């Protein structure tokens, strides 16, 4: 996994850090303890490569929700869609700014 993170960080540069920060700030799972800023790196590793297939915020919403369910299972299934959508809007904006 570390190699994948390193490759993605090199490929996407600041976008990787931005998306990691967005997930950390939204903290839908409740794992932000303020000093563990890389806690969402595994999710970034799977979300970021999929963004190239997204055409809009709704696509990003689906990507994020699917990946969170893979990583966090039942916890992620119970999160309200509007929270995912808010995160997706921020990720979409960051993605579009890099294009």
How many structural domains are present in the chain? Answer: 1
- pLDDT of 35 reads 75
Rounded to whole angstroms, how far apart are CA atoms 95 and 99?
7
- pLDDT of 1 reads 46
The parent domain of residue 41 ranges over: 2-98
Confidence band for 21, pLDDT divided at 50, 70 and 90: very high
- pLDDT, tens digit, 9 for 90 and up, residues 62-98: 999 999 999 999 999 999 999 999 999 999 999 999 8
Torsion-angle region of 30 (φ positive above 0: left; ψ -120 to 50: alpha; else: beta): left
Average pLDDT over all residues of the chain: 92
Vertex 50, ends 46 and 51: CA angle to 5°? 120
Confidence band for 33, pLDDT divided at 50, 70 and 90: confident
């Amino acid at each position: 996994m570390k190699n994948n993170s390193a490759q993605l960080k090199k490929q996407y540069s600041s976008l990787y850090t931005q998306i990691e920060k967005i997930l950390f700030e939204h903290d839908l799972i409740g794992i932000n303890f303020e000093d563990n800023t890389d806690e969402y790196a595994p999710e970034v590793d799977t979300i970021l490569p999929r963004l190239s297939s997204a055409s809009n915020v709704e696509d990003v919403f689906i990507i994020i929700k699917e990946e969170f369910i893979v990583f966090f299972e039942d916890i992620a299934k119970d999160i309200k869609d509007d929270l995912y959508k808010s995160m997706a809007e921020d990720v979409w904006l960051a993605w579009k700014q890099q294009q």
